[in-house]
Amino acid sequence: MDNAGMNDAGTDDAGVRDAGMGHAGTAGTPEPRPNGRVARKTVLRAALAATAAIPVALAGGPALARTLTTTGTAVPLTPPCDDGDHPTPEQIEGPYFKPDSPQRTSLLEPGLPGTRLTLTGYVFGRACLPVTGALLDFWQADTNGAYDNTGFRLRGHQYTDSRGSFALTTIVPGLYPGRTRHIHVKVQAPGRPVLTTQLYFPNEPRNNTDSLYDARLLMTVRDGNGGREAAFDFVLDVPQEPGPGPTPTGTPPSDGTWAAGTAYRAGDRVTYAGRGYVCLQAHTAQPGWEPPSVPALWRAA
Ligand SMILES: [Fe+2]
């Protein structure tokens, strides 16, 4: 069925518009906050960006790319998650969601027309820690603005990896009457409620006339990889153990070996893989924040 003439805006503008706006951190040395705490997302980005497994295209982190427009103007985009507030806003599901989509990270198939689009990002919880195994179920219109409601073309789900990251390969969705350009997605941390929302493209004329459009759900989009490259990070309203704090209570293992879950203080010394390191900033160690991977937190002794 071709639904190019239909409008999934519905009658309920369910966008949550009371969440604050802010700018995502960049991947660099964690910035001390006025209260002495460290923006956890900044620390996390430092850890993620310092890890070789990050694709070159993402070095610097998706948030860095999203912070500024092409004109260098700061814009209020997806909310930060550095203090356990402001989760990604919800939006209506629309009429075209179908359950039981295939598990796949690429929605491309032979003969599918359209401009190639890669979408990458992370799923965080309220404490800005990555959510492993979070479900992301995407669905979208084809390049002509039509949804496939009989099959599963341009529908697919996947799960975040141990770093909370995801990557989708698809095409730029087409326009259909009543809506600006968008991608639908459901995101769910294991055992938690489903977040249903939509992602938007910058510099779309219809963004100004679509009542569902929400700037906090704008992706960063740029040319690359033979098409378009987009980035977006989700913040789910799921509780997590706090990360870095001003008064860590844990103590390093007595043998000095680095261990995830330990609250380290500046000046603490550990060994990791036979090498010594000095802690540069108080934090609670997380998997993926091993000293060689996080120069913002550890200096080789
Ligand atoms: Fe739609």
Tokens linked to 103:
């598990």
Q: Which of 103-107, 125-129, 259-263 is most confident?
A: 103-107
- Statement: residue 16 has pLDDT above 50: no
Per-chain residues with Cβ under 5 A from ion ligand 1 = 8, 94
Taking the centre of ligand 1 as the mean of its atom positions, its distance from the CA of residue 66, in whole angstroms, is 23
Say how many Å lie between the CA of residue 184 and the centre of ligand 1: 6
What's the mean pLDDT when you consider all of the chain? 76
Average pLDDT over residues 268-272: 89
Cβ atoms 249, 263 nearer than 8 A: yes
Residue range 148-170: average pLDDT? 97
Confidence at 240, pLDDT banded by 50, 70, 90: confident
Of the candidates 53, 126, 48, the residue with the CA atom closest to the CA atom of residue 87? 126
Ligand 1 center–CA 208 separation, angstroms: 16
pLDDT one-digit tens code per residue, 66-81: 333 344 444 444 545 5
Where residue 104 falls (left for φ over 0; alpha for ψ -120 to 50; beta otherwise) is beta
Q: What is the pLDDT of residues 44-66, one digit of tens each?
A: 444 544 443 333 333 333 333 33
CA of 9 to the centre of ligand 1 (A): 7
Residue given tokens 């998706």 in the structure block: 62
11: pLDDT strictly greater than 90: no
Measured in Å, residue 198 CA sits from the centre of ligand 1 at: 8
* Bridge-based pairing state of the strands 220-224 and 165-171: unpaired
Ligand 1 centre from 187 Cα, in Å? 16
How far does residue 63's CA lie from ligand 1's centre (Å)? 25
Q: What is the average per-residue pLDDT within 205-225?
A: 96
Q: What is the pLDDT of residue 179?
A: 98
pLDDT of 151 over the 50 cut:
yes
The rounded distance, in Å, linking the Cα atoms of 233 and 25 is: 12
Backbone angles phi, psi at 57, to 5 degrees: -65, -20
Structural domains of the chain, with CATH: 40-235 (2.60.130.10), 247-301 (2.10.10.20)
Ligand 1 center to residue 94 CA distance, Å?
A: 6
Q: Which of 63, 93, 99 is closest to 185 using CA atoms?
A: 93
User: Residue 243 — pLDDT band, cuts 50, 70, 90?
Assistant: low
The model scores a pTM over 0.85: no
Expressed in angstroms and rounded, the spacing between residue 109 Cα and the centre of ligand 1 is 20
pLDDT at 8 over 70: no
pLDDT at residue 106 above 90? yes
155-191 burial code (b ≥16 CB/10 A, e <16): bbbbbbeebbbbebbbbbbbbbebbbbbbbbbbbbee
Q: Where are the alpha helices (DSSP H) in the chain?
A: 40-49, 62-67
Res. 12: pLDDT tops 70: no
Nearest to 258 by CA among 282, 288, 290: 290
Instruction: State in Å: Cα 144 to ligand 1 middle.
Output: 12
Q: Exposed, middle or buried: residue 66 (CB in 10 Å: 0-12, 13-18, 19+)?
A: buried
**For residue 96, how far is its CA from the centre of ligand 1 (angstroms)?**
7
CA angle (228 as vertex; 227, 234 as ends), nearest 5 = 150
pLDDT for residue 55: 36
Please name the amino acid found at residue 46: A
